[in-house]
């Protein structure tokens, strides 16, 4: 080692954050996914079992076929005009997203963002209102023996009907025998729902959601998991949290309080087992992506579209930094998970990262501050130089062999392994600055893939190549996730069954 290299080493270890108990890079971490931010699939949707009409949650996408016209309802022009009953096939303009008021009462959101509403003068249904009020509130009445056959009661108490293809009117007062000759009967085609925190909390309502989540928080992850994590050779956890944690115990509805207590517990357990904690803001106010794990209500994404929203998010970071600054287990604060381009612009993201970084530093110089790349971008280096300007900054990238057309044609184990060894290692090298700033972090990866195999050796090889390649990340990596009903997403299962082995 030359004298310059030696000096660099001393210099950089002096520059970099340091702490007594939190581990130092390389980090070998596991995500505590589906714990403090709900993702229904992680528990096989069982958390939603107690919700009435749980196939009609916020964000559920419905299409309606008029049985008399044999045509789909459509928001003319995608929104801003009338609802018609004249489409022979259904896609985006014919798809309506629910906002749930209670188990039978809803607003219907059209593609353009407006809501169905009753014009009480004309009696026709239009899609003009940009915020829903009483005129935009409808009831779904389902047939007992076939829940996909529905009628829709308008705010005037009458049922909608498609007398002609040219309009939908709220003027059908009679009972129904549910036959194909009743113009107030529609076949609802349910395209599926979101199963996130918003859906769970609003689906149960405050009292029941509080009960369900309290039980979930205290059973899904507990101190034994931290003992297992430490004994497996992992040295950190990445914990997704939602923005509402900052207003615990009384967050804005429908969110419920109590996740802060669970996070406090996690810090205590982490300290007991010398494990570092990465607090990861997974769901920002307004939602930074359309996925359920950003706690979006209906798949729309608004985060970062104005300064007030960015400021509110900075305050959430400030809250977390204040609360955990003194904990020796605090390894890092991740400012935002998976912001999605193009709705999240590069400018708003950099403004937020700068403000968020200083919000942390106002309280502590110790923890790393993690900045995620945007999803959906070609230039993976777009914030590389920017992030390098901040001492102790880390760039987070997520590497799955899924969620991209790149993998559509992969049919073999070897193709997947080669992709990691060649493409991912090159991608990682391209975002690794020689001067060590920012550090790099593969904050999510898994052994899920498109290959149909049950061969354990295949999975071991896939896990190993990912550990080898992501082991080059200068901050480290985190597996997604610790507990999951699906074995390939369940690191506890994978470690216990020898699919993943950690060198110690």
Ligand X SMILES: *[C@@H]1O[C@H](CO)[C@@H](O)[C@H](O)[C@H]1NC(C)=O
Assess 182 for contact with ligand X (CB under 6 A).
yes
Closest separation in Å from C-beta 80 to ligand X: 12
| Secondary structure of residue 386 in the 3-state scheme | helix
Assess 179 for contact with ligand X (CB under 6 A).
yes
Mask 291-310, x = binds ligand X (CB under 6 A)? Answer: ----------------xx--
Closest separation in Å from C-beta 353 to ligand X: 10
Beta bridge partners of 375: 340
Closest separation in Å from C-beta 327 to ligand X: 9
Signed CA dihedral, 317, 318, 322, 328: sign only: positive
Q: Which two tokens stand for residue 370?
A: 């993690």
Assess 493 for contact with ligand X (CB under 6 A).
yes
Q: Which two tokens stand for residue 238?
A: 């990445």
Helix axes 259-272, 206-220, angle to 10 degrees: 10
- Whichever of 63 and 198 has its CB closer to ligand X, that residue is 198
Assess 52 for contact with ligand X (CB under 6 A).
yes
- Whichever of 34 and 299 has its CB closer to ligand X, that residue is 34
| Neighbour count for residue 20 (Cβ, 10 Å) | 6
User: What does the alpha-carbon distance between residue 399 and residue 420 come to, in Å, rounded to a whole number?
Assistant: 9
Assess 422 for contact with ligand X (CB under 6 A).
no
User: What does the alpha-carbon distance between residue 222 and residue 215 come to, in Å, rounded to a whole number?
Assistant: 12
Near ligand X by CB under 6 A, which window of 153-161, 234-242, 295-303, 383-391? 383-391
CA distances from 369 to 30, 334, 438 (A): 18, 6, 10
List the end-to-end C-alpha distance of the chain, in Å, as a whole number: 26
Near ligand X by CB under 6 A, which window of 222-230, 269-277, 381-389, 473-481? 381-389
What distance lies between CA 488 and its chain's CA centroid? 19
Assess 484 for contact with ligand X (CB under 6 A).
yes
- Which are the contacts of 107, defined by CB distance < 8 A and separation ≥ 6? 98, 99, 101, 115, 116, 132, 136, 137, 138
Mask 306-345, x = binds ligand X (CB under 6 A)? Answer: -xx--x----------xx-xx-------------------
Q: Per CB under 6 A, which of residues 443..462 are in contact with ligand X?
A: 450-452, 455, 457-458
User: What does the alpha-carbon distance between residue 127 and residue 135 come to, in Å, rounded to a whole number?
Assistant: 11
Cβ-based burial of 256 (10 A; exposed 0-12, middle 13-18, buried ≥19): buried
Which residue from 12, 46, 130, 411 is in contact with ligand X, where contact means CB under 6 A? Answer: 411
- Which are the contacts of 41, defined by CB distance < 8 A and separation ≥ 6? 195, 486
Which residue from 389, 402, 423, 498 is in contact with ligand X, where contact means CB under 6 A? Answer: 389
Assess 119 for contact with ligand X (CB under 6 A).
yes
Closest separation in Å from C-beta 215 to ligand X: 13
Assess 386 for contact with ligand X (CB under 6 A).
yes
- Residue the block writes with tokens 């931290």: 226
Assess 122 for contact with ligand X (CB under 6 A).
yes
Which residue from 405, 434, 435, 503 is in contact with ligand X, where contact means CB under 6 A? Answer: 405
Residues at the interface with ligand X (CB under 6 A): 52, 101-105, 119, 121-122, 177, 179, 181-182, 204-205, 208, 307-308, 311, 322-323, 325-326, 385-386, 389, 405-406, 408-409, 411, 425, 429, 450-452, 455, 457-458, 468-469, 472, 483-485, 490, 492-493, 496
């Amino acid at each position: 080692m030359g004298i310059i290299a030696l000096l660099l080493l001393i210099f950089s270890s002096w520059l970099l954050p340091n702490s007594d108990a939190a581990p130092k890079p390389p980090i070998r971490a596991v995500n505590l996914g589906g714990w403090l931010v709900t993702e229904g699939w992680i528990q096989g949707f069982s958390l939603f079992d107690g919700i009435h009409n749980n196939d009609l949650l916020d964000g559920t996408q419905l299409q309606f076929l008029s049985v008399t016209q044999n045509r789909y309802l459509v928001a003319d022009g995608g929104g801003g005009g009338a609802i018609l009953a004249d489409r022979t096939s259904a896609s985006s303009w014919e798809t309506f997203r629910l906002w749930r008021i209670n188990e039978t009462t809803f607003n219907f959101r059209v593609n353009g963002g407006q809501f169905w509403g009753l014009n009480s003068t004309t009696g026709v249904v239009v899609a003009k209102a940009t915020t829903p009020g009483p005129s935009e509130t409808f009831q779904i009445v389902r047939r007992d023996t076939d829940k996909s056959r529905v009628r829709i009661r308008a705010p005037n108490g009458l049922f909608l009907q498609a007398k002609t293809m040219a309009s939908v009117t709220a003027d059908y007062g009679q009972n129904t025998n549910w036959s194909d000759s009743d113009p107030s009967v529609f076949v609802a085609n349910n395209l599926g729902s979101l199963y996130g925190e918003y859906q769970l909390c609003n689906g149960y309502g405050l009292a029941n959601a509080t009960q369900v989540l309290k039980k979930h928080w205290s059973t899904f992850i507990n101190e034994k998991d931290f003992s297992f994590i430490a004994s497996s050779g992992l040295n950190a956890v990445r914990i997704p949290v939602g923005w509402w944690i900052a207003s615990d115990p009384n967050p804005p509805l429908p969110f419920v309080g109590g996740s802060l207590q669970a996070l406090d517990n996690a810090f205590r357990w982490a300290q007991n087992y010398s494990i570092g904690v990465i607090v990861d803001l997974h769901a920002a106010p307004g939602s930074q992506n359309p996925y359920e794990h950003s706690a979006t209500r209906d798949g729309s994404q608004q985060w970062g579209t104005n300064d007030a929203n960015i400021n509110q998010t900075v305050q959430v970071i400030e809250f977390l930094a204040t609360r955990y600054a003194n904990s020796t287990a605090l390894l890092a604060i991740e400012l935002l998970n998976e912001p999605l381009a193009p709705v999240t612009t590069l400018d708003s993201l950099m403004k937020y990262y700068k403000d968020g970084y200083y919000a942390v530093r106002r309280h502590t110089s110790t923890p790393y501050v993690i900045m995620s790349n945007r999803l959906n971008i070609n230039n993976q280096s777009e914030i590389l130089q920017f992030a390098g300007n901040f001492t102790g900054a880390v760039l987070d990238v997520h590497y799955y062999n899924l969620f991209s057309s790149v993998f559509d044609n992969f049919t073999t184990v070897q193709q997947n392994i080669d992709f990691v060894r060649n493409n991912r290692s090159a991608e990682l090298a391209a975002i690794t600055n020689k001067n060590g700033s920012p550090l790099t972090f593969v904050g999510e990866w898994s052994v899920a893939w498109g290959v149909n195999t049950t061969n354990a050796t295949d999975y071991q090889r896939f896990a190993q190549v990912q550990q080898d390649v992501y082991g080059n990340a200068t901050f480290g990596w985190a597996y997604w996730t610790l507990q999951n009903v699906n074995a390939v997403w369940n690191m506890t299962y994978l470690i216990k069954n020898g699919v993943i082995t950690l060198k110690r």
